[in-house]
A and B are shown apart, each in its own frame.
Chain A
């Protein structure tokens, strides 16, 4: 029973209930009503079309990053550097847009170029972590973390240095780019259908790569057992690098879209923690691409739903992070318990 799909599902349901129960206890301990908090979060995320559009705005980068991470996870790599890869994507995008501010190029062309540039910047940044790993023997977690800090430094340098706002440089970011460089939005909602489409296409491509191609099979072979893959003649270090490049490219697109569809300038926290959140989503879906979109949507809804909590209930909006984290934690723990039972049975 424990090995069947139904068995797994029961354990996942239990994890969900345990997580909700645990967070409810925390809320009770702070003297807040859990029910009211959840109700406010629900209303804050799907209560109106405008709010749901905000959820989608947050869903786009999260899904892109998760899609990329599914590839690196399949190759057995912990690409924590994904956060910096988003940042570099944004920098690459702003850099191109700045070149064409007063040019005769059609804006649509410029935007496309800037997204491509973001893609390349993200991939190059990811390849640094990849090369540190394959040629330098530096674990990708530590190389990636270091590169994340460097990318933050680079952003700050650009904002306070060469790209600073006319007159006063400030944490609010660089000079906003001209309006023509914004991706078109649906009427007065903030969501761009193009951005949404790109994210959905990306996850579909990743699903196809992993399920339907020889290339994906090799990546998975490297992830399962790098020694065996090597003995079978797969150039393992190349496949590790490929997976870094793909993940970095997708994270770079996420960064470029944060610029062209959301902020229209470079800001210090342009990646907004989507990289780390994407790692959590990938873990929660057990590295299966099919579930990436629904779970990413759920996490995005939690993010947006918690924004109003400080005003409505004097609760810190980090509640969404607590909920997401506790949920993944309990899923990992119950999965461990299930495997233990399976082994004993």
Chain B
């Protein structure tokens, strides 16, 4: 493999990860506020279909993305209403929406299956795209990929460098304390769930108008992406930068599977495509195992030198969810 094809391949990894970035950023914001939006898998399919359908009928890519944004926000609003106002299980409502939105996408999308519609074109940034190595890697992408880079930055900035972002962390960690300090916890949860949903809603059109242009119904290959994005959110430890790293790692592994296929001929290609999933479980295990009680007990029994090292290692990998994740807030 020469340098040229390698660069094109790696640039493709950034493009392929763009939709996952939107989904993961949206889910991170939502979960930071204490609401799990489990509907993601359905939302991505529904917004992919509707984004494509709108762009196809109006011949406007922007309207397609707006449709995705709006529908993502609407689905999240249902999650917020059911879990915050009606105090139903977030997992139950999210899971039902995940299945329902998926089937709704297949049902409503059937007239648009396989038709040729508009799609994004690469938009090299003048000047920057001429830089060796970095140019082809980052600056010859589609517009939506640039937006995905920007989304990571905004999410990080908002969460860690602004006052409302600090409040957001509090709402997910210690809602009672945030309430005392003047935050309207439930309203903020509504707001962040809906904004998060809008982010997730961008993921669909980012596929159907970008990296996987068009709508192919059940063979679109998009079913399952939302569940992956959910795992990446946890892998990311609810930190936008670490989550983005997870999304890129996943896209990179999938690309690696494709590249290695001619080399590993005895392994069926279908197996290589799902190879990232066992790795995902393993990473989830590594991220979570530090929270397990028996690990702490084992650590305490270890000799001093080994314990320090192991504890440090576990702490570096470990990620704990926002303390109030999934817990309804009541004022009394």
B88 and A325 within 8 A (CB): no
1/0 contact string of A137-150 vs chain B (CB within 8 Å): 11101110111011
Given contacts A137-B289, A329-B100, contact A146 B270 (CB under 8 A): no
Residue of A nearest to B268 (CB): A160
Bound together, the chains give a CA A35 to CA B87 distance in angstroms of: 35
A335 to B285, CA, bound (A): 36
With contact pairs A322-B100, A337-B86 given, residues A149 and B274 touching in the complex (Cβ less than 8 Å):
yes
Does B110 interact with chain A (Cβ within 8 Å)?
Answer: yes
Inter-chain CA distance A103–B41, complex, in Å, is 46
CA gap between A322 and B49 in the complex, in Å: 15
B107 and A143 within 8 A (CB):
no
The number of inter-chain residue pairs (CB within 8 angstroms) is 141
Q: Does A215 contact B (CB under 8 A)?
A: no
Whether the Cβ atoms of B288 and A136 lie closer than 8 Å is yes
Which residue from A146, A156, A283, A319 sits with its C-beta under 8 Å from B92?
A: A283
Docked CA distance A141–B231 (Å): 10
By beta carbon, the residue of chain B nearest A141 is B91
Is A333 at the interface (CB under 8 A from chain B)? yes
By the criterion CB–CB under 8 Å, are A150 and B292 in contact? no
Interface secondary structure of B, over-half rule: helix
Inter-chain contacts of B88 with A (CB < 8 A): 332-333, 335-336
Residues of chain B lying within 8 A (CB to CB) of residue A161: 268, 271
Q: Are A318 and B103 in contact (CB under 8 A)?
A: yes
Question: Once the chains are docked, how many angstroms separate the CA of A169 from the CA of B264?
Answer: 17
Q: Which residues of A contact B292 (CB under 8 A)?
A: 135-137
Is the pair B103, A156 in contact by a Cβ cutoff of 8 Å?
no
A30 to B111, CA, bound (A): 10
- The answer to whether A137 and B288 have CB atoms under 8 Å apart is yes
Establish whether residues A146 and B86, one from each chain, have CB atoms under 8 Å apart when the complex forms: no
User: Which of B86, B87, B274, B289 is the one whose CB lies under 8 Å from A136?
Assistant: B289
The reply to whether B227 and A145 form a contact with Cβ atoms under 8 Å apart is yes
A142 to B41, CA, bound (A): 13
In whole angstroms, what is the CA distance A229 to B234 when docked?
28
Which residues from chain A contact B230 at a C-beta distance below 8 Å?
142, 145
Shortest A127–chain B CB gap in Å is 14
Q: Are B96 and A145 in contact (CB under 8 A)?
A: no
Answer whether A153 and B274 are a contact pair too, CB < 8 Å, given A135-B292, A333-B86. Answer: yes
Q: A320 — which chain B residues lie within 8 A by C-beta?
A: 103
**B224 in contact (CB, < 8 A):** yes
Chain A residues whose CB sits within 8 angstroms of the CB of B87 once the complex forms: 336, 339-340
Q: Assess the B270–A156 pair: CB atoms within 8 A.
A: yes
Segment 235-293 of B: residues with Cβ below 8 Å from A: 267-268, 270-271, 274-275, 277-278, 280-281, 284-285, 288-292
Given A138-B284, A142-B284, A153-B274, answer yes or no on A321-B99 (Cβ-Cβ < 8 Å): yes
Answer whether residue A95 sits at the interface, using C-beta atoms and an 8 A cutoff: no
Tell me the minimal C-beta distance from B198 to chain A in angstroms. 21
Task: Give 15 A-B contacts (CB < 8 Å), ordered by A residue.
Answer: A26-B108, A142-B284, A143-B284, A153-B275, A160-B270, A161-B268, A280-B96, A283-B96, A318-B107, A325-B103, A328-B96, A329-B100, A336-B85, A337-B86, A339-B86
